[in-house]
Chains A and B, each alone.
Chain A
């Protein structure tokens, strides 16, 4: 039986941030997220076990899909600030650019900067033509962020797990991308 080739472990660099693949052999996910005293995610998980399973799933997602959430690191301080990337577990309508920030990393534009880097990577390196974000209807902060990223609202998706979500679509900032968007408008 044929096997998939070895997983590539991409890295993305933005102005302030380094985005690394948490499935890479030299990435210490335990130190980054799972040690006692590690910073918690802003969207609180019920307990440490839930964080462990979530991180294991994030890593396995890379192996099942060939892409996934990047670990986002502040270039200067070396601090982990969160996870940002395309997320497509079973049950999602299509891959979703999503993000989770660690405590204390909010309000600095890290998620927006990392998301820009990831979108650029998806469009320029992975050959994607578009990508969505799903945002909770009431999450004004996330709506503002996807609008800052230039995504266009595209209606609602009834998510089996999280309920109704607003769909925003990101497109490459190229002539072809805009042309496609106008074609569908």
Chain B
């Protein structure tokens, strides 16, 4: 079953990527806010990445949501699951594009809503998050969402698995 195109929380609307998201997304990608993701990145890479977000929805039937302010419609960031690598669980992201929007729990609110949807509506068992070991803010969110660290050997990247479903014995 495909993921919902739109999710709504108290303060946010999460929707699929649109062309108009490019400029604010590009500003984020070219800023030092992507330092834990190997950034800052070029405009070309930013375009590739957003096209990737859009294309993943076609390939997998789910993908990164653009997180928007429910009142104004302004795009604030992105959140949701990706699966580039078939042999680990779908990988989560929760990023706010501007520092001005930090400190109000918006990234966590968006991520928590996607997890609720994956668990309750899609029946997914588990997702993961790969986070740079110095990215304390993101690690804190992973832990608040129920993530536990699992073995991983990718240098400075830590992996957290977030179990969604409590399954009974087979």
Direct contact, A vs B (beta carbon within 8 Å): yes
Interface residues of A, Cβ cutoff 8 Å to B? 2-5, 7, 12-13, 63-66, 86, 88, 94-95, 124-131, 175-176, 179-180, 183
On whether the beta carbons of A180 and B169 are closer than 8 Å, the reply is: no
Contacts of B1 in A (CB 8 A): 175-176
> Could you list 16 further interchain pairs (A-B, Cβ under 8 angstroms) beyond the known A125-B126, A127-B128, A183-B59?
A2-B133, A4-B149, A4-B152, A5-B149, A7-B151, A13-B170, A66-B161, A88-B87, A94-B86, A126-B126, A127-B89, A128-B89, A129-B83, A129-B87, A176-B2, A176-B60
Contacts of A183 in B (CB 8 A): 59
Contacts of B169 in A (CB 8 A): 13
A128 to chain B, nearest CB (A): 5
* B residues 86-115 in Cβ contact with A at 8 Å: 86-90
B43 to chain A, nearest CB (A): 29
Q: Flag B147-168 by CB within 8 Å of A: 1 or 0 each.
A: 0111111000010010000010
Q: A13-B169, A66-B151, A129-B86 are in contact. Are A180 and B59 (CB under 8 A)?
A: yes
Contacts of A129 in B (CB 8 A): 60, 83, 86-87, 90
B170 to chain A, nearest CB (A): 5
- B61 interface residue (CB < 8 Å to A): yes
- 5 pairs of A and B residues whose beta carbons are closest in the complex: A127-B89, A5-B148, A130-B86, A129-B86, A127-B126
Bound CA–CA A129/B59 (angstroms)? 12
Interface centre among B87, B125, B127, B161 (most CB of A within 10 A): B87
A87 to chain B, nearest CB (A): 11
B60 to chain A, nearest CB (A): 7
Pick from A4, A125, A131: contact of B150, CB below 8 A.
A4
Bound CA–CA A90/B133 (angstroms)? 23
Bound CA–CA A66/B89 (angstroms)? 12
Bound CA–CA A4/B147 (angstroms)? 11
Q: A2-B149, A63-B151, A180-B59 are in contact. Are A127 and B133 (CB under 8 A)?
A: no
- B57 interface residue (CB < 8 Å to A): no
Determine the residue in chain B with the shortest Cβ distance to A5. B148
Pick from A65, A94, A131, A175: contact of B151, CB below 8 A.
A65
- B124 interface residue (CB < 8 Å to A): yes
Q: A95-B87, A183-B59 are in contact. Are A125 and B158 (CB under 8 A)?
A: no
On whether the beta carbons of B87 and A86 are closer than 8 Å, the reply is: yes
Contacts of A7 in B (CB 8 A): 151
29 sample A-B contacts, Cβ–Cβ < 8 Å, listed by A number: A2-B133, A2-B139, A2-B149, A4-B150, A4-B151, A5-B149, A7-B151, A12-B170, A13-B169, A66-B161, A88-B87, A95-B87, A124-B167, A125-B125, A126-B125, A127-B89, A127-B90, A127-B124, A127-B125, A127-B126, A128-B89, A129-B86, A130-B86, A175-B1, A176-B1, A176-B2, A176-B61, A180-B60, A183-B59
